[in-house]
Amino acid sequence: MTGASDVVWRGIGTLFVVFLLSPLALVVLFAFTSRPQSAFPIEALSLRWWDAMLANPNFAPAFWNSLIISGTVGIVSAIVGTMAALGLARLDPRRARLAAALLCLPLMLPPLVLGVALLSFYSRARVPMGPQTVIMSHLLFALPFVVLVVYARLRNFDFRVVESARDLGASPLRAFFTVTLPIIRPTVVGAALIAMALSLDDFVITFFTIGKGMTLPTFVFSMIRTALTPAANAVGTLILVMTIGTTLVALWLTRYRG
């Protein structure tokens, strides 16, 4: 490679990284500045928007709703998704790929269409809307991620160790809890964290299926719809820290490398 093209590629890479990261970096930056607009020049650093966020009566319920919803989605999708991945690993690879592709269909629908379809369905089936309907809806797009990640791990899993345990008299359940699970646990936990991050981050489907309550993203929406207050930056930073934090731990646990 010549030196000139090296410099060009480095420049392109830098531009991409700036384009991808700057919106998020600015949200974090303006969560800590003092002026009442997100604008330059920055006069002073301040925590006033964090005070404003905590003082807002809608903040605490939204925060707890977000924790409960994403926690439940993480746990349920980890259990159901791991079961499904174990089931897929017992099918022949072609049928397993087909089943996995089917399960991923909800990810291809625009969230708006999924949200309004679920809204009309819940209301027809007279399911009262609230955190419970949001949890059910989030399972739909969180589950495929868990299944895919855990199934990928099981593809290069040595099932002979499970068979040894079975030959030595362990029941299928006991073999799973004493042999399989300890080996795949980091992957399962990582997949559950990805599911939590996706749930925590979702706005559109939550907006249509939560009824009256709020989560952190719908709380941000209620703040930015009326007026641009930098307090929204504080909530946004909180969401970013939570989603990116769980994602980082998840990537580390699953050793995902693209």
Partner 1 sequence: MRDRGATYLLLAPAGVIFGTLFVLPLTYFLVISFWRVVLFRLKPDFTFANYLQVFDLHLSTLVFTLGLASLVAVLTTVLGFIYAYLIRFKAGLWGPTLLFVALITLFGGYLMKIYSWMTILGITGVLNTALRALGIIDEPLPWLFYNVGAVVVTLVNFLLPLAILPIYASMRGITDIELEAARDLGAGGWRRFSDIVVPRSQTGIIGGFALCFLLAAGDYLTPQLVGGKVNMIGVQIAPQFGGLGNWPMGAAMSFVTLGSSLGVILLSIFLLAQWRPR
Question: Residue 39 has which token pair?
Answer: 């604008």
Q: How far is the CB of 140 from partner 1 (least distance, A)?
A: 5
At residue 242, φ and ψ (nearest 5 deg) are -70, -50
The C-alpha torsion from 176 through 180 and 183 to 187, rounded to 10°, is -90
Kindly state the tokens that stand for 88: 């897929």
Length of the chain (residues):
258
Q: How far is it, in rounded angstroms, from Cα 16 to Cα 4?
A: 19
Q: What is each CA distance from 166 to 151, 158, 161, 163, in whole angstroms? A: 21, 14, 9, 5
Q: How far apart are CA 91 and CA 109, in angstroms?
A: 27
The minimum distance between CB 184 and partner 1, in angstroms, equals 14
Q: Which stretch binds partner 1 (CB under 8 A): 20-28, 47-55, 56-64, 177-185?
A: 20-28
Q: Which of 7, 54, 83, 181 binds partner 1 (CB under 8 A)?
A: 83
Interaction of residue 126 with partner 1, rule CB under 8 A: no
Work out which of 99, 183, 189, 249 binds partner 1, going by CB under 8 A.
99
CB of 12 to partner 1, least distance (A): 7
Q: How far apart are the first and last CA of the chain?
A: 25
- Applying the rule CB under 8 A, the residues between 159 and 178 that interact with partner 1 are 166, 172
Question: Which x/- pattern over 175-204 shows residues binding partner 1 (rule: CB under 8 A)?
Answer: -------------------x--xx--xxxx
Binding-site member from 55, 108, 168, 227 for partner 1 (CB under 8 A): 108
Which residues ranging from 37 to 76 are in contact with partner 1 (CB under 8 A)? 37-41
Per-position x/- string for 203-242, each x denoting binding to partner 1 as judged by CB under 8 A, each - no binding: xx---x--------x--xx--x---x---xx--x--xx--
Spatial contact of 255 and 198, defined as CB atoms under 8 Å apart = no
Angle among Cα 195, 201, 204 to the nearest 5 degrees reads 110
Shortest spacing between CB 214 and partner 1, in angstroms: 13
Q: Which is nearer to partner 1, 47 or 112 (CB)?
A: 112
